[in-house]
A and B are shown apart, each in its own frame.
Chain A
Amino acid sequence: MRFSSGLALALSLAAGTAAAGNDLPQHQLPGSPDGNLVVGLCDGETSIEVKGVKPGDPLTREQGQQIADTLMKEWRSKHPDSGWVVVAADPPAQGQLPGVKAPVENQFQTYGAFSERDQQIWKDSTDRLVAEGKRIFHDAKALGGTNAVSCDMCHPDASNTHPETYPKFQVQLGRVALLRDMINWCIENPVRGKPFADDDPRLKALEAYILAQRKGVALDYGKH
């Protein structure tokens, strides 16, 4: 299946602005009188009730496919002129389907059908994470440190953090370490804070910043 470019843009717009605030339009699903599962489509309007299935019940792959197919059928009936094409079922004869521009020189694929604006949104999102990492890297309090030492004091611009060399056998630890193990080691020792949990957003942000500073350096795991 593939989206027409117009629909793809609309969907990605919603995704792009979702991070910006909380006062966004939400897909309010109608309740089921029998307490059945209600599934909404990403257009924010279409929904179906799944008979005999309660929220939280496990679903088989077949049931899932059936739900997806029903929702799409519903959507397509509401948008007869959308240009939605099921490629495998009816391969387009070039230039024959109304509203569909046949791809000319590049391969067409849903994931590849994004505009420069989408790419800008992705870049901004990524850079926000990197910037947050940079902030924490330079802020002893944000690191949870107790002696006013921050990462940048020994690693200006994240120098000498060499993320490209991990995983490697860290001789002083006597075991193989990842970059995050060394981040946590630094937080515990020179910074005298508490190590971050693996899913701590601060740890993720620090990794993002450190990796971003080494863009273009060849990966060389195990290097000493």
Chain B
Amino acid sequence: MVHKSIETKHYEERASFFDDLTRMGRLSRRGFLHIAGVSAGIAAAKGLIVPQSFQLIEISRAAESIPPFTIAYVSDTHLYTRNVNDRFVRSAVKAVEDVNALDPQPDFVLFGGDLAQLGHREELDLGAQILKDLRAPVKMMVGEHDWYLDLGEHWRSLFGPPQYSFDHKGVHFVTLMSVQEKDFWTARGMAPEERMQTVAGLDNGIQSRFEVGPEGRQWLQNDLEKIDKATPIVIFSHSPLYKYYRNWNFWTEDADEVQAILSKFDTVSVIHGHTHQLLLNHIGNISFYGLLSTAWPWPYAPEGLPKLTVQMNRADPFNAFDGCGDGQLNVLASGMINKVYNLWNRNPVTVRASYLSSSGTKEQPPATTLSSY
């Protein structure tokens, strides 16, 4: 960690801010709003409380733009009960403490799925208990580890339907149930525990591929029908809504169909769990951001890694928290998202919306020094 004084940071941020202005040349209103959002994002990313004089947050709150706001996230806690494994419990609690320490508090907290490891009632209850300590409201997403013991029965009783939408400050949010799997268990005569264990194995090829499924896609279509194309859309899904690596279900089988439904909107961001790594992609008008896990990091897959992904340094196995973490989504005035990867034990990495929307030509995040083997 490079230590810099508050003054140094202030002047660096200011220099970077005015560099942006210079690069823009003629500053359009849209560009102005964009930069204002970025500067707010930087401030939020660094946990600065006092707005700097050069941040244009207040001025940017024009009628037709989004008032910038922050969402925090915690994801993939993979909880066993405390007596089986206390490490994952401690990690989940650590993430809750991180989020509770944010000042100002986020508008809400996204939980990105895989609360439990093996879908047991006790694991889900423990997770619900831990998340209750969050000060901000929580939006829940389901993961395959929560689902395939009782096919979602207990999860639904705790958190409600896994697929829902809501509007917040001019952004339309949709949470998808993207980890549907075609029945691979009945023909094999698997007990629920076996089914769960199979799905829980990332490299277990017996299971089916994830999908939103025809019903889910129809629901999405209906939900978005009444939404104006200029409205920023943010999708939460557990699996990445594109095809990254099939063998590990870093994959959504009907991703192309889902992307087609989203393609009519000007601004779409997909926030997904499951991959436990800094993961970025941009397809058409859609920006994709993977979430970190609190439990363990996953290596990058041997093939299929999106070109725009700047890899995170490979994890140090000797530090149980390394490569894990939580983070924030800073929703900009444009409705796009600057994403903060709050990697425990490392400097946080901020991925600016402009990095993805410029196809990687602007605002490149810091490169890895320890890439995958």
A165 touching B117, Cβ below 8 Å: no
CA distance A186 to B320 in the complex (A): 11
Residue in contact with B318 in the complex, picked from A138, A147, A152, A172, CB distance below 8 Å: A172
Query: In the docked arrangement, what's the CA distance between A149 and B299, Å?
Result: 17
- The reply on B248 being an interface residue by CB < 8 A is yes
**Would you call A154 an interface residue if the criterion is a C-beta within 8 Å of the partner chain's C-beta atoms?**
yes
Chain A residue at smallest Cβ distance from B200: A153
Contact A160 B372 (CB under 8 A): yes
| Cβ-defined contact, B85 with A159, below 8 A | no
A162 and B373 alpha carbons, distance in the complex (Å): 7
- B298: contacting residue among A156, A162, A185, A189, CB under 8 A: A156
* B53 smallest CB distance to A (angstroms): 44
In contact, A157 and B317 (Cβ under 8 angstroms): no
Rounded to whole Å, the gap between the CB of A163 and the closest CB of chain B is 10
- How many angstroms between the C-alpha atoms of A154 and B202 in the bound complex? 10
Is the beta-carbon distance between B299 and A153 smaller than 8 angstroms?
no
What mask results when residues 84 to 113 of chain B are scored 1 for a CB within 8 Å of chain A, else 0? 111100000000000000000000000000
The distance from the CB of B324 to the nearest CB of chain A, in whole angstroms, is: 11
Find the B residue at minimum CB distance from A223. B373
**A190 close to chain B: CB less than 8 A:** yes
Overall SS of chain A's interface: loop
In chain B, residues 247-264, which have Cβ atoms closer than 8 Å to a Cβ of chain A? 247-248
Residues B317 and A149 in contact, CB atoms below 8 Å apart: no
* In the bound complex, CA of A63 to CA of B20 (Å): 89
Contact yes or no, A172 B316, CB < 8 A: yes
> Do A138 and B317 touch (CB < 8 A)?
no
Which residue from chain A places its CB closest to the CB of B80 in the assembled complex? A148
Q: Is the CB of A156 within 8 A of B202?
A: yes
Q: Which bracket fits the contact residues of B? A: 20 to 34
The interface size of chain A toward B, counting residues with CB under 8 Å, comes to 20
- Complex: A209 Cα to B221 Cα, angstroms: 46
Contacts of B85 in A (CB 8 A): 147-149
Q: Which B residues touch A152, using CB under 8 A? A: 201-203
Please tell me if A155 contacts chain B, counting CB pairs below 8 Å.
yes
List A contacts of B248 (CB < 8 A).
Answer: 156-157
Least Cβ distance of A27 to chain B in Å?
A: 44
A179 vs chain B, min Cβ distance (A): 13
* B86 CB to nearest A CB, Å: 8
Assess the A160–B299 pair: CB atoms within 8 A. Answer: yes
CB-defined interface of B3-47 with A at 8 Å, one 1/0 digit per residue? 000000000000000000000000000000000000000000000
Taking the complex as formed, is B143 at the interface, i.e. its CB lies under 8 A from any CB of chain A?
A: no
Q: Report the bound CA distance from A163 to B324 in whole Å.
A: 24
Asked whether B273 is an interface residue with its Cβ less than 8 Å from the other chain, the reply is no
Cβ < 8 Å to B, chain A residues 136-186: 138, 147-149, 152-157, 159-160, 162, 165, 172, 185-186
Residues in B282-305 with C-beta less than 8 Å from chain A:
296-299, 301-302
With known contacts A160-B314, A165-B373, A186-B317, A154–B298 Cβ distance under 8 A: yes
Residue of A nearest to B85 (CB): A147
Q: Give Cα A147 to B84, complex, Å.
A: 5
In the bound complex, how far is the Cα of B84 from the Cα of A149, in angstroms? 10
Contacts of B373 in A (CB 8 A): 160, 162, 165, 223
Which chain B residue shows the least CB distance to A157? B203
Q: How far is the CB of B247 from chain A (nearest CB, A)?
A: 7
Interface bits A180-224 vs B (CB < 8 Å: 1, else 0): 000001100110000000000000000000000000000000010
A162 CA / B314 CA spacing, docked (Å): 12
* A9, chain B: closest CB distance, angstroms: 37
Q: Is the CB of B302 within 8 A of A159?
A: yes
State the Cβ distance, B327 to closest chain A Cβ, in Å. 20
Q: How far apart are A32's CB and chain B's nearest CB, in angstroms?
A: 57
| A160 CA / B317 CA spacing, docked (Å) | 11
Q: Which residues of chain B (116-136) have a CB below 8 Å from chain A?
A: 117
Interface centre among B86, B298, B314, B316 (most CB of A within 10 A): B298
Q: How far is the CA of A172 from the CA of B201 in the complex (A)?
A: 29
The CA of A7 and the CA of B203, in the complex, are separated in Å by: 44
Cα of A152 to Cα of B248 in the assembled complex, Å: 11
Q: Which chain B positions have C-beta within 8 A of A160?
A: 299, 314, 372-373
A138 to chain B, nearest CB (A): 6
CA distance A94 to B298 in the complex (A): 63
A148, B84: Cβ atoms closer than 8 Å: yes
Residues on B with beta carbons closer than 8 Å to the beta carbon of A138:
201
Q: In the bound complex, how far is the Cα of B298 from the Cα of A154, in angstroms?
A: 6
Distance, CA A190 to CA B320, complexed state (A):
8
A214, closest chain B residue (CB): B373
Q: Across the interface, which residues of A come within 8 angstroms of B320, CB to CB?
A: 190
Separation of A126 and B117 alpha carbons in the complex (Å): 33
- Give B55 Cβ to nearest chain A Cβ, in Å: 40
Nearest 6 interchain pairs by C-beta: A160-B299, A156-B203, A162-B373, A156-B202, A172-B318, A147-B85
Given A147-B86, A156-B248, A172-B317, 15 extra CB contacts under 8 A: A148-B84, A148-B85, A152-B202, A153-B296, A154-B298, A155-B299, A156-B202, A157-B247, A159-B299, A159-B301, A160-B314, A160-B373, A162-B373, A185-B317, A186-B317
A residues near B (Cβ < 8 Å) are 138, 147-149, 152-157, 159-160, 162, 165, 172, 185-186, 189-190, 223
Interface residues in chain B, defined as those with a beta carbon under 8 Å from any beta carbon in chain A: 80, 84-87, 117, 201-203, 247-248, 296-299, 301-302, 314, 316-318, 320, 372-373
